[in-house]
Every structure is written in structure tokens, then in C-alpha cells.
Structure 1
Amino acid sequence: MLNKKIVEKKLTSKTYTPKVLKELYKIFNLRTKQEKQKLRKILLELISEGKIYKDSKGKYRPLKDNLAIGTLELTRNGTLAFVWTESGDEIAIPAEKLGNALHKDKVLVEIIGKWYDLPEGKVIKVIERGLKKIVGTFQPRGRFAFIIPDDPKIQYDFYVPVEYFNNAKPGVKVVAEIVKYPSPTRNPVAKVIEVLGYSDDPSTDFPTIVVKHDLPVEFPEKVLKEVAKIPEKVTPKDLKGRRDFRNEIIVTIDGADAKDFDDAVNVKKLQNGNYLLGVHIADVSYYVKEGTELDKEAFKRGTSVYLVDRVIPMLPFKLSHGICSLVQGEDRLVMSLLMELNKEGEVVDFEVTPGVIRSYRRLIYDDVNALFSGDKEAYRKIGDLKEQLFLMKELKDILRNARRKRGAILDIEGGEVKIILDEKGHTIDIIPRYRGEAEVIIEEFMIKANETIAEIFNNFDLPFVYRVHEQPDPDTILQLKNYLSALGINFKLPKKIQPKLLQELLEKTEGHPLRSSIERLLVRSMKRAVYSSTNIGHFGLASYAYTHFTSPIRRYPDLVVHRLIRNFLKTNGKLTKKKIKELNKKLTKIAVHSSKRERTADEAEWDYTALKKIDYISRHIGDVFDVVVTSVTKFGLFVEIIDKYISGLIHVSTMNDYYIYNEEKSILIGERKGKIYKIGDKLKAKVIKADKTRMQIDFEIYNEEENKSNIN
């Protein structure tokens, strides 16, 4: 009986010589249409898994040690790309070694050397095209046109013959289907399939982001059919084997605009002086069964995407806003983690159990923060919960101090903003978001829950999905040191970087006008946190084991962790060697895929926010803002509008002198007048241009005295 194991063994054996498909039919003695179809399916799976590849002559070959298959991702400047393999390995590809490959293509790569700590490769073959559509600006050139892609990672302009114009007008934003891919002598060809409108129309923002990042919006019919069978209420049979917490005062605390509630909490003071912290997480895995169409779609999406004015959910609304959401006053199924914590913030005992809760109150961060500050209106609204909330604050302080002592990075705000839109989608204001005590309470409780769950699996040495964060590269920390030196902030750089050092740096720069830029640079200097089936710890949190357990409504890895917990409770952590091997293989694939989907979601969210910021500033052309210099280059000053986190460039050509760039000190010096511009300078700058397509904002320095003399 033909199966994948037999085919893989044959094609990777030492005696096998590469064969075309017809020859493989003979080798495996396949005669019927169904048998041949099965082989083709197996071959596609083996190619997808990176076990074999099909060469230019149609022969199926095993992958040698110097070959790899993965997905190509270009950097924004187009000079470098990275290939991510199924196992999570990363290969650097210089632009000149890309061949005809495009961003998001699945490619076969030959390893040819080293690029810093990574292997360097060149693209041998495009196995599968990743891009099917593009979004960009339509630019006619007589009897043909070009589409200039919005995504800077796409290194080609797309040729459009006249018969593919589809009534597009010059300068409009369009969605186009790729008809022909690039060759060594020709640009790719595209066909306009949808005219979105002009880029200054905010209604073009959402479809632009959806196409650019290939985000799945609508759920397939087969998924919705499965969802329709899920009950809207918790039934008595759902309660079997569950702890009943419905008489406990358990609350959710979220932002005012939150729609899905994955986590609820409660805290009690025990007679021995310890605290009992309950973290109750929506039991999504009870409803989303492994292998169903709903599960496959959730895996494909990987995460919900939260945009300024909408969400693209991982799960259909019936689950994410309905039966799984821990709404006030409704019975909901949960996976509960009860932790007994001492006065040092250590977990001295814990219990994990399926449960049922009835959320006592849906609390809002602003109201809780107002209660803590003594606001009478907040007391009128939620004063009946004052004792519980102040106990939560007390425990939060203990947990936070414990993390500070062990050296975790605590104080990164991240420069987040709240963008306020009008009914047409135009940005009317941008307001900084600040975390209050209530936000930090939930953050600390969720971190402690995630650590506790991860430690269980780490201590039992069982297959698991960890959230890991590597140590930063010394080179990137050196760049941070040089940046801070330019600001007059000095700190010693030890051989081994500890998170405690970076936390001390954040405390040192508290109140600095460039605090948000320092935070963002510090984040960029550290490696990205990812999912992994191998535990290497979490540098930023100073955790030896960490996971994501607390948001299964919106993150697929959390859903998988819940399944692993359920299986752990059922088997008492006892697994066969065969099962452990199978699980490790599956979890590696889930971790790599989830990390990719998270990165895509982040980029979509950043791009959408950037479009809304440019929309705001485009209606302030000619206006003057207070800005701070965040970076100095030979071609000008990068500046940021204070409290709005809107960045742009003051090009050196608009400045009133010939400026020389001193790279060592990171300053610009005026040749005639001797004026010096450095990082941290506060200026007044006038907005002169805002381009949504290129996502660029241009400023010029506003000199009040010069402006007065020009008027006179």
C-alpha cells in the first residue's frame, strides 16, 4: 500500500537516481488513476515539507545538505532577503542572488557561504509563487501602464497592457492580479481587477492592507457550517468534570473598546498571609477541535489582526464575541489556573483545572485607574469592588518588584497611540496611550500565569510551545550605546548583556524628551520574541520558561497550549517515546508558522496605523509642529512630532546652509554659520509633503525670525 513514508524512504535512499513522474509511476507499479493521483499528492507534500524538490527537467530529487526550501521575505530597502525554512532556520540572500524570485515565494536555495551568524544562499528555483495579487498606484505611459506596488519589499514595477486597464485612471490605487511573473529580460505583467480609488480616500486603506499582507477576511462556507452547530449557550452536559466558580467574584478588566474577553481574574488573601490568584482563560479548545475545518482556518490565520477601527478575527464572531468570550453575567467555560503566591511573589502551590465561571463585572481600565486615584464618579460606579481591586494592586506590586529584582525589563511603553477617526475614516486626532495601574495589574497576572504553565511542561520535559526571546546581538547593543552617547547618556557595555542593564537604562532616561525613541531603539536592538518547541528562555522577561496561554481567542499557539494542558491532565504527563517524537515534530511546525503569522499581523497593524497618521498630517500641510530630532544622517534629520509619534524627514536640501555630516558624533554642521543639529534637539518644523503610497512625510525647519522677515 503506497504511503508517504514509503515514497520518502525510496526518494531519499542512496541507491535512488532522480526520476520524472512517469518513471516514478513504474517504480511504484502504479496503474490506476487514483494510485497516480495519490503519488502526486504525496510528492507535493514532500516538496512542501522540504524533503525533496522538482528540478528544471521535471526530475524529483532529495534535498542535499547544502540545499534548503523555504519562504522568501525581502527587507523594506530591497537589498537583502531572508528565507525561512519549515524547521525555523533562517538563510540570508543578497539581492543579486535572488534570480527572478519575488517576496513571499517558496524557493529552493543553495547554501554558498556565511552572512554574519547566518548561512548565505542563492535562489536556485522558485517552487511556488507566493504573490497572486498586488496593490499599487496605476501610472499610464501611452498605450500601456505600470503599477507601482505599495509594498517596498516587491522589487519590480508591473507592466499593464492596455487591454488590462479595466477603466483605471492615472494615479488611482488598484488591486491587480499577476498574469506573468518576472524573467531575466522582462518585468512582471499584471491585470487590474479592482479600482480602489485615490490614496487620499480613507476607504482605500483597509483593502490596501488586506491585499498587501494577503490577509484572509471572510471565513470559508465549510467553516461557517461547522460553527453553526456550536451552541450559543453553555449546556449542563458541558459542565461535566469542571470546577464551578460561578459564585466567585471574578472580573474582566480591559480597554473600553474591547470586544472579545479571553481572561478573567480574582484574588483572595489566605489565612497564612499568602495570596490566591485565579486566572481564568476562555476554554476555546473545548469548541475548536483539532483537525476540524475551523481548526485548520484558525491555524492558517495564526492570530487576530487588530487594526485601528476593526479586527480581522482568528475565529468567527460567534466564538470570539459569543460563546468563548467571558462576557458579564453569562456562564462561560474556562481553563482555570489557581496560584498560591507568597509575599515574595513566588508560586508555592498551583492547580490547573477546567472550570465554569460567570463574570461578575466587565471592568474598564480607565474606571479602575480612576478608582485608584480617588475619583468619586469611579467610586460610584465600581466602589463595591474596591477591596478586591486594591488587593489586586497589592499583589501586582509584589509581582512587579519580584520581576525587577530578577532583572526583567519592565518599563517599555512602546509609543502607542489612540487614533480617533471621523465617520468617513479620516483621522481627526492622535493621542498617546499611557498604561495605568489597571493595565499593569493584568499584565503582571498574565505573565505569572504564562510562566507557571511553561514551567510545568519544562519541568516534566514534555513537548510544548514556548514563547522564547534570545539575547541581543552585541553589535546592535553597540549601536544603542552609540546612539545614547550622542545624547550624552553613557553606560558601560559588559561582555554578557543582562536584561537588568537595559532596565536600569530605561530608569536612567525617565522623563527624557527622546524617551519614546530610546524605547523603540532598545526594542529594535533586541531580537524578536518567537514561538518555539525548544525552550531557550525569555531574555526580556528574564524568565527561564515562558509561553502564551492567556489569549486563545486571538492566538493559535495559546489554543495549542490549552490542548496540551488538557492532554496533560488526562494522561498525567505520561507519553510514549513515539508520541513525544510526533508531538515535537508537529509543535515545531506550529511554532514556526505562528511566528510568521504574528509578524505578518504586526506589519499589517503598523502599516494601517502609518496610513492613518499620514491621513492626519496630510490635512496639516503648511502647519507647524514641535518636533524632536530622533536620528541624524548625511541626507537630513529624522524628526518626530512630540506626543503624536508621527515621524518624517527634514531633507538637508531644504536647510539654510551647506551641512557636513560628522558620522562619529552623529551631527550635522553648517559650513557657513556653524549651526549644529544633533539627536535630541527640539525644533519647530513645517509639514511640506505627505505621501500615502510611499508612506513618507517631509518637513522643513520653521524659523520664526526668518519667516517674519519674509513676510515683511
Structure 2
Amino acid sequence: MDDLKREILSLFEADSKYTLKAIYKALKVKAKDEKRMVRDAIRQLLEEGQLIRDGKGYYHSAESSNLVAGTIEFSRRGTIAFVTTDQGQEIAVPVEFTSSAMHGDKVLIEIVGKWRNLPMGKVTRVLKRGKEKIVGVFEVRRTRGFVIPDDPKIIYDFYVPIECINGAKPHQRVIARITKWPRKGKDPEACIETVLGNVDDPKTDVPAVMAKYDLTDRFPDEVLAELEQLPDDVRQEDIDGRMDLRDEIVFTIDGEDAKDFDDAVSIKKLPKGKYLLGVHIADVSHYVKENTALDKEAYRRGTSVYLLDTVVPMLPFKLSNNLCSLMEDKDRLTFTVEMIIDEEGRVLDFDVAPSVIRSKKRLTYTIVNRLLEGDQTIERALGKQITDSLKMMHELSLILRQARQKRGAITDIEGGEVEVVMDDKGQVVDIVPRKRGPAEILIEEFMIRANETVAEIFHNAGLPFVYRVHEEPDPETILQLKEYVEALGLKVKFPKTMHPSILQKVLELVRDHPLRSSVEKLMVRSMKRAMYSFTNIGHFGLASYAYTHFTSPIRRYPDLVVHRLLKLYLRQGNRFTEKQIEIYSKLLPKIAQHCSKRERIADEAEWDLLAMKKVEYISRHMDKIFDAVVTNVTRFGLFVEIPDKLISGLVHISTLDDYYFYDERKNILVGERTGRIFKIGDTLKVRVLRADKIAGEIDFELVGEEERVDKRVSRK
């Protein structure tokens, strides 16, 4: 089909337009089956936006016109949309130019001008709808039923005909199938298929998020049939020819609730202060073969999705939680990277090979952190061999971390992660910021070094590969960060050529600052998103010239692909054939792009659920007074954060006790009568005014003695 599509596109190099009959004639197609294949190819080219069909039935090449195709995504407030083309170009589309397009649709747009520093476009046609179903709340307005989408990026409410209500009641969360798309002057329509429950019931949150992002924990029948053919345990025939490490002191270190263990570690001390570090990764590629139903489904999913206590796995549990999981005291197939590392953190030599291990212990971060903090009870329980290994690993992890800091890597971003504590009814009891201890840092350093080692093999060989890349930030976003840091009273020189070491210096300056998490968030926003790429442009945040994802093949498809490439490379004597280079040069860019998209969807699903849970928690504490810090000042109010919970919200300017004007240069709000000033870093006492669980939004109001004094002064 790809060859036929290329042949059709080549016709337009000679002529600007063709009818369908003219295309048949040019291709010398006469048979019915051949004509059907041509029509299928044209249909795909239309969906991809490479061909355009005008009102007179003529087909044109998109390249020869002022039209481009891409996926449209609306902002959360629905006031602007952006279209991203397959080539990565971004075009702004004001909402009045979006026609009947919805968030996630594939659209054809005409470039009509400029919007800030981007081209501005206008939707001329919807090529392919992005959604078949919506998730939302059923409401009744003047006897007419509507589904109001959970996703604020969907700017339409959907009318539900009475015969399609299917027993839903107002204020219930539902899943509905779209039956009619938006048209000029008419609402789109939908038919309710599933009633999840009352909107306030926490049990509806996970199913709603899964439905919103089209996630499922069920696998197709053909995948389950293939799964039945796999062994229940490792066989001797699987072990033959592998590096046998079953007698080595190898163990896993993961979170308390982890079920899939895809990495294990080992260490030995060598003469002259050197270390032999072993990183052993589950060999998923031994069981999941290319182009099988298992492989195709894993590719479609792209990644596992972690929705608090629910996992939507990339692979069925037989593989992810058993056969590929590096369980304690079980023989497991692995891919091992052994590295000789000196006292400066340099890798002097390495070996990569398929292997077999038997984990001696399933350790948790909590246990290892207690050991490294000097807990003698843990030390006695683990025994001398594992204890000595862990202390040696801690020693090496500090060396590796210091080496990364010297080259300028950003090492101190905590990530703003929280732990959501729930009761047996699924209701949120507490939100607790998650701190990384030495155990988490230890594993992070070892995995980074293994990933770099594997990436450097392919980078140095100049062979097709899937890299994990991270572009340099845009100067405009760095300027925002600079202004924010200066507003905190901190002085940092930002050179014209940005290096990650500058950002690391900022993190060190705000280490004990109450606004540390806000600085981290802004820093993350100022940097571009890390993604998968066929082209190696390096990893800015890690200050690494070659990086990949090799260490989590149970939950990430790119890691599985990297394992296959590595096996092929080793099996063929550290080379690829010309044919393989040609094949992978076409295939890997598509895999990288698809997996980057799937990762983004997974992140958004996880963020959505977390936002809901934060609102759920705060809704149960509406009368409680919280200490909050001003994280940003805008002309419409103050953004604040409760540091103990990492919960953010808005104090709207209309709720303040005076008329406030916004000083853009100083980024402050100033009261007209009282002269009171609000600035970034101020500590305030706030109470919840509004909490919208569906939108994930929280509004606060100021409370406390200070505010009451201001009100008395203004009255006098």
C-alpha cells in the first residue's frame, strides 16, 4: 500500500490535478480489484492530508497548495486551538476559525496569516474524527438532556435525544457514543451507552479517565490466544547460550506497591577503586516477537498507564507480572549491561549480553533507605552480602551523580510527585508529597548510566536507532523563568547560550525556599518535552549526547524495540545489513512518533486523575484554613499553592478587599485604597471557595487577621 501511495503522489509532480478516472488511466489500472486498491490508497492519502479533493471532484497535492493537514488540539479554556502536522509544524487556529472540528480531529487547514510567532490557520475540512465516544456529566436543561464533556478541550455540549438517555439521571457520569457531529447552528448529538454513577462517587473517576483517553485493561482474543502458547515458567531451552548469573548477588529495588519488576542490579568492587556494575533488564523481546498479535497490541498501547492503584498494562499480566517480572528466587531471562566504572564515574569498559538471573531479594525503596540511614534491624534482616552490596551501590551512585553534575546535568528536580492515600472505599484521606531518598537516586543513576551506554553503541556505530531526546528550551520561556527567579530576590546570570548547569544552579539556590516546587514546575514548563526520536539531538536535561530507554521493556514499547535492535546487532557481529538499515530507517521514525504520542496521552490521563483526587481531598476540607504561598501574579488574581499538599488554585481578584491594579513590570498587584501589595513568594492564609472536580480547578479566598485589619483600615 505504501508503494502505491508513493506512486499516486508521484503523478502530481507532473500535473497539478487529477480526477479519479484520470488517476486510473495514468496508473494503467483496469481491473476492479486494482481500482479498489487505488481508491483505498487515495482515501488514506486524504486522511493523512497529503491529497486534497476540491468541490469539482479534482484531487490536488497538498504540497502544491496553501493547505496543510494535522491534528487539532484545543486549549483547556477553548479559546485557541493548535494544529500539529505529521512533520511537527505547529499552526495556531483561533476558535472562530475551527469550523466543526473537535479536539483530536485530523483536519485540513489553510494558512491565512500570523498569530504571535506562529502561522495562523483556518480549518477547511475535517479529514478524520478523533473520537467516537465522550465521557461527561448528564444534565437536563429545559426538558432537554445534554452530556457536558469532562474534557474542557471539547467545546461542545452534546444533545441526547430522549430515546438515547438509557436510564441516566441528572448529575451522573456517563459514556456516550457520538451520533451526530457539530454543524452550523446545531448541537452535536450523542447516545448514552454506560452510566458510571453519581459525579461525586470516587469509584467513577478511574473508569471515566480510562474512557476519556480510550484506555482498556482488556486484551483482544487473538492476543489471549497467543498468550496461551507461552510457557508458564522459564525453560532450559530458553536459558541455553545465555550468560548465567543465577549465582550472583542480584536483587530488585522498587516501590512498595510495584507488581512488575523489570530491572535488577548487582555490584562488585574491583582493584584500584573500580566497580563492576551490573544492570539486568527483563528480556521481554524473547517472548514478544515482531508482528505477532502481542506485539501489535503492545505497539498500539505504547506504554503502561498508572492510574493510582489501577494499572492499564502494555502487556498482559502473565508477562508483566509473572514470566517477564524479575521475581525473587525465580529464574528469569534478562538483558545485562555490565560496566567497569572508575572513581570519577567514567565507564572504562562494558559488556552487553542476553543473560539469566535469579533475584536474591525483592527490596523496596523504604527498606533500602532505612538501611542506608543506619537501621541495624534492617541490616541484620538482609544479611551481610546484600547489605555490603547496597552500601557499595550507594557509594557508586554518589560518584555517578557527582560526575553528572560536573558535566552540567540537572539532578535536583523532585518532580512535584505526591502520594494519594485512600481508604477502603476509594475516598482520598490525605495527599502527601513524595520525597526521593538515596535508594531512589541509586536506581535512577544506574538506569541512566545503562541507558547511555546502550545509546552510545548505536550512536558511535551510526546505525538506525530509537533515542530519547530533549531539545534546548526556547529563549522566551527561559526569560520567563529568569523574571520569576528575580522576583524571588535571587540573582542568576542567564547566558545567551543556555546550558543545563545554569538551571541546576537555580535549583540549588531554591533548595530550602518555600517556592521550590513552583520554580521546579516553571522550569519543567520552560523546557521542551522529552520524546522519542530517530534522530539523535542529545538530551538537554541530562547533559547527555546519546540517551535511550532500555531499562523498562515491560511498560514501554521503545525499550522493547531497543532490545530487539541490540540483539540483532550482537547476533550479526556488531553490524546491520544494508537491507536492515533501509527497513529500520523507514520504520523507526514512525515508532518514535507513535510512542511519543502514546506517552503524552498516558501522562495526561495520570495528571487528570491526580487533579480530580486533589479536588476531592480539598472538597472535604472546605472550612479548613491553609497556609499557602503565592506562586504567580496575574491581572485576574493570585495563583497559590499549599506546600504541604502541592495543591494549587486561584485567588480571584474579585474576592480581594480592594480594587487592585496589576503592575506588569514588577509582576505585582497593588491595592488602590490600602496600598497593599501582593507579590510572588508571599505567604497567605486561604480557605476553599470553590472546588470543581470535573475541571480539576480550585478557587481560594483570603482569610486571617491580616486581611481583617486591612478591611478596618479601608473603612476608616
Shorter-chain TM-score category? over 0.9
Change (3 A) 1:271 1:522: same
Change (3 A) 1:292 1:87: farther
| CA apart distance, 1:155 | 1.6
Mapped to 1, the partners of 2:232 and 2:57 lie a distance apart of 52
Tell me, what secondary structure is at the counterpart of 2:203? helix
1:443 counterpart residue number: 444
Mapped to 1, the partners of 2:449 and 2:152 lie a distance apart of 40
Change (3 A) 1:349 1:60: same
Residue pair 2:4, 2:38 contacting (<8 A) in 1 also: no
| CA apart distance, 1:375 | 1.2
| CA apart distance, 1:118 | 5.0
| CA apart distance, 1:158 | 1.7
Bigger shift: residues 491-500 or 267-276: 267-276
**Is residue 182 of structure 1 aligned with residue 178 of structure 2?**
no
| CA apart distance, 1:142 | 2.4
Instruction: Please give the residue correspondences for 1:679-694 in structure 2 after superposition, counting only pairs within 5 Å.
Output: 679-694=680-695
1:225 counterpart residue number: 225
Instruction: Please give the residue correspondences for 1:173-252 in structure 2 after superposition, counting only pairs within 5 Å.
Output: 173-252=173-252
**Is residue 351 of structure 1 aligned with residue 338 of structure 2?**
no
| CA apart distance, 1:28 | 5.1
Residue pair 2:47, 2:127 contacting (<8 A) in 1 also: no
Residue pair 1:263, 1:551 contacting (<8 A) in 2 also: yes
Mapped to 1, the partners of 2:179 and 2:698 lie a distance apart of 33
Instruction: Please give the residue correspondences for 1:332-411 in structure 2 after superposition, counting only pairs within 5 Å.
Output: 332-384=332-384, 385-411=386-412
**Is residue 64 of structure 1 aligned with residue 63 of structure 2?**
yes
Tell me, what secondary structure is at the counterpart of 1:64? helix
2:467 counterpart residue number: 466
Mapped to 2, the partners of 1:110 and 1:7 lie a distance apart of 23
Mapped to 2, the partners of 1:58 and 1:166 lie a distance apart of 42
| CA apart distance, 1:127 | 1.2
Tell me, what secondary structure is at the counterpart of 1:155? coil
Tell me, what secondary structure is at the counterpart of 1:481? helix
| CA apart distance, 1:468 | 0.6
> In percent, how many aligned pairs have the same letter?
57
Residue pair 1:371, 1:383 contacting (<8 A) in 2 also: no
Residue pair 2:265, 2:279 contacting (<8 A) in 1 also: yes
Instruction: Please give the residue correspondences for 1:28-43 in structure 2 after superposition, counting only pairs within 5 Å.
Output: 34-43=33-42
Residues 115-134 of structure 1, C-alpha deviations (whole Å, 9 max, x = no match): 56655433332111011111
Residue pair 1:8, 1:46 contacting (<8 A) in 2 also: no
Bigger shift: residues 304-313 or 691-700: 691-700
Residue pair 1:487, 1:680 contacting (<8 A) in 2 also: yes
Tell me, what secondary structure is at the counterpart of 1:12? helix
Tell me, what secondary structure is at the counterpart of 2:453? helix
Mapped to 1, the partners of 2:476 and 2:9 lie a distance apart of 43
Mapped to 2, the partners of 1:336 and 1:90 lie a distance apart of 41
1:134 counterpart residue number: 134
| CA apart distance, 1:33 | 5.3
| CA apart distance, 1:380 | 2.9
Change (3 A) 1:671 1:91: closer
Mapped to 2, the partners of 1:628 and 1:550 lie a distance apart of 38
Mapped to 1, the partners of 2:636 and 2:112 lie a distance apart of 35
The one-letter amino acid paired with 2:409 is A
Residue pair 2:109, 2:125 contacting (<8 A) in 1 also: yes
Tell me, what secondary structure is at the counterpart of 1:458? helix
Bigger shift: residues 526-535 or 28-37: 28-37
The one-letter amino acid paired with 2:61 is P
Tell me, what secondary structure is at the counterpart of 1:299? helix
**Is residue 305 of structure 1 aligned with residue 312 of structure 2?**
no
Residue pair 2:416, 2:646 contacting (<8 A) in 1 also: yes
| CA apart distance, 1:29 | 5.9
2:663 counterpart residue number: 662
Change (3 A) 1:438 1:68: same
Tell me, what secondary structure is at the counterpart of 2:271? coil
Mapped to 1, the partners of 2:2 and 2:334 lie a distance apart of 39
The one-letter amino acid paired with 1:337 is V
1:627 counterpart residue number: 628
Residue pair 2:175, 2:193 contacting (<8 A) in 1 also: yes
Residue pair 1:514, 1:680 contacting (<8 A) in 2 also: yes
Residue pair 1:88, 1:592 contacting (<8 A) in 2 also: no
1:507 counterpart residue number: 508
Mapped to 2, the partners of 1:633 and 1:299 lie a distance apart of 43
The one-letter amino acid paired with 1:105 is D
Bigger shift: residues 592-601 or 205-214: 205-214
Mapped to 1, the partners of 2:339 and 2:391 lie a distance apart of 18
Mapped to 1, the partners of 2:172 and 2:591 lie a distance apart of 39
The one-letter amino acid paired with 1:481 is K
The one-letter amino acid paired with 1:562 is H
Change (3 A) 1:253 1:476: same
Mapped to 2, the partners of 1:677 and 1:164 lie a distance apart of 51
RMSD: 2.2
1:549 counterpart residue number: 550
1:8 counterpart residue number: 6
| CA apart distance, 1:112 | 4.7
1:265 counterpart residue number: 265
Mapped to 2, the partners of 1:704 and 1:110 lie a distance apart of 57
Mapped to 2, the partners of 1:408 and 1:11 lie a distance apart of 45
The one-letter amino acid paired with 1:316 is P
Residue pair 1:216, 1:301 contacting (<8 A) in 2 also: no
Residue pair 1:11, 1:61 contacting (<8 A) in 2 also: no
Bigger shift: residues 487-496 or 392-401: 487-496
2:714 counterpart residue number: none
1:585 counterpart residue number: 586
1:525 counterpart residue number: 526
Provide TM-score, normalisation by structure 2: 0.94
The one-letter amino acid paired with 2:108 is L
| CA apart distance, 1:493 | 1.9
Runs of 5+ in structure 2 lacking a partner? 712-716
Mapped to 2, the partners of 1:624 and 1:382 lie a distance apart of 45
Residues 117-164 of structure 1, C-alpha deviations (whole Å, 9 max, x = no match): 655433332111011111122221223233221111112222223332
Instruction: Please give the residue correspondences for 1:309-328 in structure 2 after superposition, counting only pairs within 5 Å.
Output: 309-328=309-328
Change (3 A) 1:586 1:280: same
2:414 counterpart residue number: 413
| CA apart distance, 1:89 | 4.1
Residue pair 1:252, 1:361 contacting (<8 A) in 2 also: yes
1:279 counterpart residue number: 279
| CA apart distance, 1:63 | 2.9
Change (3 A) 1:599 1:290: same
1:481 counterpart residue number: 482
Tell me, what secondary structure is at the counterpart of 2:273? coil
| CA apart distance, 1:295 | 0.9
Bigger shift: residues 154-163 or 288-297: 154-163
Tell me, what secondary structure is at the counterpart of 1:413? coil
| CA apart distance, 1:51 | 4.0
Residues 263-298 of structure 1, C-alpha deviations (whole Å, 9 max, x = no match): 011111112431111111111111111111111111
Mapped to 1, the partners of 2:561 and 2:91 lie a distance apart of 28
Mapped to 2, the partners of 1:173 and 1:708 lie a distance apart of 45
Residues 27-84 of structure 1, C-alpha deviations (whole Å, 9 max, x = no match): 6565665444433443344445554345555554433154433322222232333333
2:431 counterpart residue number: 430
Instruction: Please give the residue correspondences for 1:285-300 in structure 2 after superposition, counting only pairs within 5 Å.
Output: 285-300=285-300
| CA apart distance, 1:701 | 1.1
Mapped to 2, the partners of 1:420 and 1:4 lie a distance apart of 50
**Is residue 497 of structure 1 aligned with residue 498 of structure 2?**
yes
| CA apart distance, 1:467 | 0.6
Residue pair 2:50, 2:63 contacting (<8 A) in 1 also: no
| CA apart distance, 1:654 | 1.9
The one-letter amino acid paired with 1:370 is R
Residue pair 1:466, 1:546 contacting (<8 A) in 2 also: yes
Change (3 A) 1:179 1:375: same
Residue pair 2:674, 2:710 contacting (<8 A) in 1 also: no
Mapped to 1, the partners of 2:73 and 2:487 lie a distance apart of 33
Change (3 A) 1:6 1:670: closer
Residue pair 1:417, 1:431 contacting (<8 A) in 2 also: yes
Bigger shift: residues 120-129 or 473-482: 120-129
The one-letter amino acid paired with 2:343 is K
Change (3 A) 1:37 1:9: closer
Mapped to 1, the partners of 2:55 and 2:291 lie a distance apart of 35
